[in-house]
Amino acid sequence: MYLENISLRQFKNYQHSEIKFSRFINCIMGSNGSGKTNLLDAIHYLSLTKSALNSIDQQNIQHDEEFFSIKGTFHLDDKKYQIQCSCKSGSKKVVKKDNKPYLKLSEHIGVFPLVLISPYDTDIIREGSSTRRKFMDGIISQIDGQYLQSLLKYQRLLSQRNQLLKDFARKHQFDAQLIASYDEPLLKLMKAIFDRRTKFLDQYMPIFKKHYMSLSEGMEDVDLKYKSDLFSPDFEEQYLSNYQRDLSIQRTGMGTHKDDLVCSISGYSIRKFGSQGQQKSFVIALKLAQFEMIQNDKGFKPILLLDDIFDKLDDLRIKKLIDMVSSQSFGQLFITDARPERTARILENTPCEIANFLVEYGHAVAT
Ligand SMILES: Nc1ncnc2c1ncn2[C@@H]1O[C@H](COP(=O)(O)OP(=O)(O)O)[C@@H](O)[C@H]1O
Ligand SMILES: [Mg+2]
């Protein structure tokens, strides 16, 4: 599977650009602020229907313009697919496959899978539990559409229940029955989400550990431990008896929306005790394991975007990364870097076609 070309209109700092890619390696060069990351973000939109950086679609419309449009041609199993993602100011975004709009954007997720490695990945170990849930859900959603549906339904019901709790507090009126009508479906969805996350981690863990070992060449034992209220055998009772507390905090205090992954090295928190090198290896291993999980599931490689990671990684780690995509069948790779000579050196012995692009002020030209 690969992306043959892209056409951008009024997307961030791209006024109008048409670019034809290599089905192997694409190096996107240009000074800071020129639009390298924006180009990767447009590819991210085509694959996952959203930006990797700014979840407010309207803010990705070029300043002072009325809409953006991103079009691209994917190749999959000897067929071509035209994907278009557009957003008009004041309206919801529309994603079309071969000119037919999706009724549910979630149906597009995982069709043309993608993995992004960027400097922000360290957020997965540094930030709060929601970034880790997002990371885990992002992988499962690309391989299991049913899971994504459950997750979206859960989020919808949960936010309705939370809204009710807020309304009760505001009006000093309580309706236990109304709340209870949410609990049965919520509990059922939580169980499904918990089971799927558990199954996912069983498969993911050994792959993750393997990649960590290979990147670090160290002997430390890394671990990701799933933390969830649902491990308690009395979870359902606890959840239901938490109603009074939910009322006072005006939100739902227990459930899979509180899940976390505890990231550790030799039994200690990687965030607090890991060296910089260990943290880098940890994060890259998380992403490589994501790549491999998706590849195993689909039977082909996801598109890999490497955004400005060469500043952050030493040559050994970068080499391993490139080997990973180029071993056996080659996947499609997009690399951004402000320093073309460095990328050229790293890719020197890579035996496949490399296309180079220079980005200046939101214009990408093949060089
Ligand atoms: N909605 C927008 N309209 C116009 N320009 C934008 C918009 N969003 C971001 N930009 C511009 O995009 C540029 C950043 O591009 P980016 O792809 O991050 O650069 P880099 O090449 O460093 O990765 C900045 O100059 C920023 O002002
Ligand atoms: Mg950038």
Instruction: Collect all residues with Cβ–Cβ distance below 8 Å to 235 and sequence separation of at least 6.
Output: 229, 254
The CATH H-level superfamily of 125-296 is RecF/RecN/SMC, N-terminal domain (1.20.1050.90)
> What atom in ligand 1 is closest to the CA of residue 336?
23
Task: Inform me whether the pLDDT recorded for 348 exceeds 90.
Answer: no
Taking only Cα atoms into account, the Rg of the chain, rounded to an integer number of angstroms, comes to 22
The pLDDT of residue 321 is 75
Return residue ranges of the chain for CATH 3.40.50.300. 1-113+302-367
Q: Is 361 left (phi over 0), alpha (psi -120 to 50) or beta?
A: left
Decide whether any atom of ligand 1 lies within 6 Å of the 22 Cβ.
no
Decide whether any atom of ligand 1 lies within 6 Å of the 51 Cβ.
no
The pLDDT of residue 205 is 97
To test the pocket of ligand 1, the residue of 10, 32, 38 to mutate (highest count of ligand atoms within 8 Å of its CB) is 38
E-only strand ranges, the chain: 2-11, 14-20, 25-29, 67-76, 79-88, 94-97, 100-101, 114-117, 222-227, 260-265, 268-269, 303-307, 333-337, 354-360, 363-366
Range from 126-135, 171-180, 320-329, 358-367 carrying the lowest mean pLDDT: 320-329
The class (CATH top level) of 1-113+302-367 is: alpha beta
To test the pocket of ligand 1, the residue of 8, 9, 11, 12 to mutate (highest count of ligand atoms within 8 Å of its CB) is 12
Residue-wise pLDDT for 113-159, tens only, equals 999 999 999 999 999 999 999 999 999 999 999 999 999 999 999 99
Residue-wise pLDDT for 259-299, tens only, equals 999 999 999 999 999 998 889 889 999 999 999 999 999 99
Return the HEC string of 197-225: HHHHHHHHHHHHHHHHHHHHCCCCCEEEE
> What atom in ligand 1 is closest to the CA of residue 35?
17
Bridge pairing between strands 25-29 and 354-360: parallel
Greatest C-alpha distance within the chain: 70
The pLDDT of residue 66 is 98
Return residue ranges of the chain for CATH 1.20.1050.90. 125-296
Read off the pLDDT of each residue in 81-101 and give the average, rounded to a whole number.
97
Residue-wise pLDDT for 37-66, tens only, equals 999 999 999 999 999 999 999 999 999 999
